Amino acid sequence: VTGGAGFIGSALIRYLISETDHKVVNIDNLTYAGNPASLKDVENSPRYIFERADITDAAAINRIFSGYSPDLIIHLAAESHVDKSIEGSGIFMQTNIIGTYTLLEAVRKYRNENTDKNFRFHHVSTDEVYGDLSKDDPAFTEATSYSPSSPYSASKASADHLVRAWGRTYGLPFVLSNCSNNYGPYQFPEKLIPHMILSALAGKPLPVYGEGTQIRDWLHVEDHVRALYKIATEGQTGETYNVGGDCEMQNIDVVLKICAILEELAPERKQGVAFYRDLITHVADRPGHDRRYAVNCEKLKTGLGWSPQHNFESGLRQTVEWYLENKRWWQSILDGSYKLDRIGKAV
């Protein structure tokens, strides 16, 4: 698993160790969003191994492949925050495009040296590669044309194209998945839901882009990792599968739901804060902000028998409860380089 110390990667590794008998090698460079504490529950498992490496380092990746002889790679390592890609796109090009290329070339070398080995490469991508939808457009399908809007989504689209090209040109046995917005425990505080939870608890403004009418499809990370494993092990080689949570919601409504849950679970607000919702601050919209994402995942449901098990209402409450109960995990992050601020000026 590349990027296994990140939000989705760590959830996947916890799932693999607890629900399967696989031996798992976690390749992660531990950049700002990688957190070994997210893997505390599995770090002592004899089936878990951590290798600190950058996916752009061909020598390191070749060494890891030779040392462990993998039969399945699930590629999650990526720079993944749209705001940060707008601030500085270079690292997104380097990690998401050059890193994926380097990984694919290492895989090609490894397969040439192990021609008798059963092998598969699963590339994990995002629904943002498809661009955005109007309110009345049908949801994205696997056949939707790519139209990325941000440096982040453009870099992920580029990586998707590389994987498909290596499949056609070099016979790489791959599967590819595009997921909607993830949420759940252990998510880094830069993302919308944990950012709003922690900002509210700190009595800080809750910045909402524009009127907050952007629509996203919310997918619980535990549902996502179940889908990833199914796709990786049962999906048809060369195929793409969309993964969504069947939950479209405006950003402002998500923030209001978080505030309502906090009123119940954390009623002792910071001094001067009458209600958590009073902290909502509308800020100038970010450049090229997509209006709506919606994912049609019927191919995954009918073909592989997967469906989301988490209801957003209960899943969001569970997530808020987790952050309230795991202050040590996120406090160590906030004490470091990450601060509770966002792009955008109040309007």
Calculate mean pLDDT across residues 132-154: 95
Calculate mean pLDDT across residues 307-332: 95
Q: How many CB atoms lie within 10 A of CB 94?
A: 15
> If you average pLDDT over every residue of the chain, what do you get?
94
| Of the listed ranges 38-42, 237-241, 284-288, the one predicted with least confidence | 284-288
pLDDT tens track for 85-120: 989 999 999 999 999 999 999 999 999 999 989 999
Check whether 347 has a pLDDT greater than 80: no
144 or 334, which is more confident: 144
Question: Could you tell me if residue 206 is left (phi over 0), alpha (psi between -120 and 50 degrees) or otherwise beta?
Answer: beta
The pLDDT, as a whole number, for residue 279 is 97
3-state SS assignment for residue 151: helix
Which residue among 152, 186, 229, 293 is the active-site one?
152
Q: Tell me how far apart the alpha carbons of residues 340 and 347 are, in angstroms, rounded to a whole number.
A: 19
For the chain, give the percent of residues with pLDDT over 90: 88
Identify the CA nearest to 283 among candidates 212, 222, 192: 212
pLDDT tens track for 324-335: 999 999 998 887
Residue 340: pLDDT band with limits 50, 70, 90: low
Radius of gyration of the chain (CA): 20
- Catalytic, 128? Answer yes
Calculate mean pLDDT across residues 174-192: 96
Which residue among 28, 79, 128, 132 is the active-site one?
128
- Catalytic, 127? Answer yes
The pLDDT, as a whole number, for residue 236 is 98
Check whether 344 has a pLDDT greater than 80: no
Which residue among 127, 132, 190, 222 is the active-site one?
127
Residue 339: pLDDT band with limits 50, 70, 90: low
- Catalytic, 152? Answer yes
The pLDDT, as a whole number, for residue 341 is 55
pLDDT tens track for 244-282: 999 999 999 999 999 999 999 999 999 989 999 999 999
Whether the pTM exceeds 0.75: the reply is yes
| Paired tokens of 345 | 């000026």
